[in-house]
C-alpha cells in the first residue's frame, strides 16, 4: 500500500468501486504483488497504474496482516512524495486529504493499523 503525500502534507485516497472488495470505501493506492516482484516494486507500479503519478522519497513504514471473513491479507506500507500531484489521473474518485481528516473518510477495516503506522512515522 502507498501513502502518497503531496507537498502540503496531504495524502491521496482513492474511492474503491462498488462491486470490488471493500467497495465504496476510501483506500490507499496499492494492490497485490505479482509473482517475482518485490513489495517496493509493486508499490511503485500500483501507484503509477492507479494514478499515473511518479513519486520520490520512498520509505518502508511497516507490515501488517489482517484477516477478513473471506481472505487473509499481508500489507506492506510505503510512504512517498509526489512532486506533481495535480498530474494524478485516477479511474475512480480521488482526494488529497489532511492526515487529521482521515477519520472523515470511511476506510476498510484493515486500514486502522495502517493509519496508526502513518501517525507513528510522523
Ligand atoms: N488498494 C487497497 N486495498 C486495500 C486497502 N485496504 C484493504 O483492506 N485493501 C484490500 O486489499 C486487497 C488488495 O487490494 P486490490 O483489490 O486493490 O488489489 P488488486 O487491484 O491487485 O486486486 P484485483 O485486481 O483483484 O482487484 C483487497 O482485498 C482490498 O479490499 C487499501 O487501503 N488500499
Task: Evaluate if residue 73 carries a pLDDT over 80.
Answer: yes
Q: Which three cell numbers stand for residue 18?
A: 462498488
Mutational pocket test of ligand 1: of 46, 61, 73, 109, the residue with most ligand atoms within 8 Å of the beta carbon: 73
Which contiguous run of DSSP H or E holds residue 55? strand 55-68
Distance of alpha carbon 112 from alpha carbon 81, whole angstroms = 21
Q: Is the confidence metric ipTM above 0.90 for this complex?
A: yes
Give, using CA atoms, the residue closest to atom 4 of ligand 1.
27
pLDDT, tens digit (0-9, with 9 covering 90-100), for 87-107 = 999 999 999 999 999 999 999
For residue 122, pLDDT over 80 is answered with no
Domain 2-121, architecture per CATH = Alpha-Beta Complex (3.90)
∠ CA 113-3-26, rounded to 5°: 70
Looking at ligand 1, which residue's alpha carbon is closest to its atom 27? Answer: 21
- CA distances for 56 relative to 17, 29, 89, angstroms: 27, 15, 18
Ligand 1: centre distance to CA 32 (Å): 7
pLDDT tens sequence across 10-60: 999 999 999 999 999 999 999 999 999 999 999 999 999 999 999 999 999
Identify the residues whose C-beta falls under 6 Å from ligand 1: 1, 20-22, 27-28, 30-32, 71, 73, 108, 110-111
pLDDT of 38? 98
Supply the pLDDT for residue 78: 98
Amino acid at each position: 500500500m502507498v501513502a502518497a503525500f503531496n507537498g502540503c502534507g496531504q495524502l491521496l485516497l482513492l474511492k474503491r468501486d462498488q462491486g470490488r472488495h471493500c467497495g465504496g470505501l476510501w483506500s490507499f493506492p496499492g494492490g497485490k504483488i505479482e509473482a517475482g516482484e518485490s513489495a517496493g516494486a509493486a508499490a511503485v507500479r500500483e501507484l503509477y497504474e492507479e494514478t499515473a503519478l511518479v513519486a520520490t522519497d520512498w520509505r518502508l513504514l511497516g507490515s501488517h496482516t489482517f484477516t477478513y471473513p473471506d481472505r487473509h491479507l499481508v500489507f506492506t506500507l510505503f510512504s512517498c512524495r509526489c512532486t506533481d500531484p495535480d498530474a494524478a489521473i485516477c479511474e475512480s474518485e480521488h482526494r488529497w486529504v489532511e492526515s487529521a481528516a482521515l477519520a472523515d473518510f470511511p476506510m476498510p477495516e484493515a486500514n486502522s493499523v495502517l493509519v496508526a503506522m502513518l501517525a507513528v512515522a510522523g
